[in-house]
Amino acid sequence: MIDIKLIRENKDLVKENIKKKFQDEKIVLVDEVYELDKQVRDLKQKGDNLRSERNNVSNEIGSLMREQKREEAEEKKKRVGEINKELTSIEEEETKINEEIRTRMLVIPQIIDASVPVGKDDSENVEKERFGEPIVPDYEIPYHADIIANFNGMDKEAAGRTSGEGFYYLIGDIARLHEAMLAYARDYMIDKGFLYAIPPFMIHGSVVEGVMSFPEMQAMMYKIEDEDLYLIGTSEHSMIGRFKDQILKEEELPVRMTSYSPCFRKEGGSHGLEERGLYRVHQFEKQEMIVICDPKESMDYYDKMWHYSVEIFRNFNIPVRQLECCSGDLADLKVKSCDIEAWSPRQQKYFEVCSCSNLGDAQARRLGIRAKGENGTYYVHTLNNTVVASPRGLIALIENNYQEDGSIIIPEVLRPYMGGKERIEKTK
């Protein structure tokens, strides 16, 4: 949510930002907010004038009572009563208009960073850099579900009976490899100075509204029936929500945390679920990182965070690239975002495994997260990034470490989490 001062002082900037995001239907909201804000300020001024008058009349009543002029004092008291009624009406009107303003402000997109490329959708995202050589071996790489089947490592049929489409069992060495990735990612982030946490896996609607836009919520979140609770789609939601309505001491910044959680997503719409494989499913596990910092430091942390993901995937022997998200592909709360995509030697193309985002003060304004320093109180900036999400990370690891004999080489950094194993062999 942007600062309303931007609309008061520079409507054209806000409108131009909306145009860059190809959301022209929202331009009218800027003018509506501008006019509603004028009404609120007029009501505030009227209220202030009435309060000033009430104070003066109250002083006059005191003087009249001391002078024993009771009849005149009673007349003045009637005026105080009239003022109080007017103030009540004004305050109710203010509350109503402020709610209308907030409703509109929640859907006006955050001002994007000047460095964000302008484009309509994800097809216009821009590759910035590659890390590692994308190799296509001279032997066939089977579909990941078929590779996993060679290890008796997955059972989607049974998961269909227990839970329905979009769920799965991971079994044996494949399940162990999945957990090894997450454990390594956790320890990697701890070594980088991030505090480890396991957050709540359900959050209130007010937190959901604070961390994401309504269209995102509708597309992603599962709501618990008859409860004000939603299953998290990522632990960033509850991790940022932890600081709701808090004023942090400036010396406590930056807050750097890494969190583990299962994640639950509808995965509806055009993408759909993957019938056999694990690419699009309703449930997965993820190690996440978040930073809450001084606004002056947020872009530095943004660069550090996506580089952490690159290093981790390179340690898994996986070539990756950084893809900068264009304006039309940015969610409304984001200032800047990029994806880290892993190389698929089977498909001979890259696919998303991590997403790093700088949300500026958007979440902080919605959730009331501020810091207090020598120069007063201000809204902090919030950032998040995937450390490792599995099964997508698992798919990338399996494909890039698959051998011609059907075995999978275990990356060196994961061997301590696999009991020292160097590879896993096909089940006989």
- 105, 135, 154 — which closes off a domain? 105
* Residue 148 counted as domain residue: yes
Could you tell me the pTM of the whole model? 0.89
Structure tokens at 397: 């690891």
| Residue 126 and residue 97 share a domain | no
Structure confidence at residue 275 as a pLDDT band (50, 70, 90): low
Structure confidence at residue 109 as a pLDDT band (50, 70, 90): very high
| Residue 129 and residue 97 share a domain | no
- 76, 105, 134 — which closes off a domain? 105
* Residue 270 pLDDT greater than 50, yes or no: no
**Average confidence (pLDDT) over 143-163:** 94
DSSP labels, 91-150:
HHHHHHHHHHHHHHHTTSPPPPPTTSPP-SSGGG-EEEEEES-----SS----HHHHHHT
| Residue 369 and residue 290 share a domain | yes
| Residue 369 and residue 222 share a domain | yes
* Residue 163 counted as domain residue: yes
Mean of per-residue pLDDT scores for the chain: 94
Which domain range does residue 17 map to?
4-105
| Residue 152 and residue 93 share a domain | no
* Residue 116 counted as domain residue: no
Are 320 and 314 spatial neighbours (Cβ–Cβ below 8 Å)?
A: yes
* Element housing 18 (H / E): helix 11-20
| CATH number for the domain harbouring residue 77 | 1.10.287.40
* Element housing 349 (H / E): strand 349-358
Structure confidence at residue 39 as a pLDDT band (50, 70, 90): very high
* Element housing 365 (H / E): helix 362-367
Tens digits of per-residue pLDDT, 316-364? 999 999 999 999 999 999 999 999 999 999 999 999 999 999 999 999 9
| Residue 334 and residue 205 share a domain | yes
| Residue 299 and residue 178 share a domain | yes
Overall domain count for the chain: 2
* Residue 143 counted as domain residue: yes
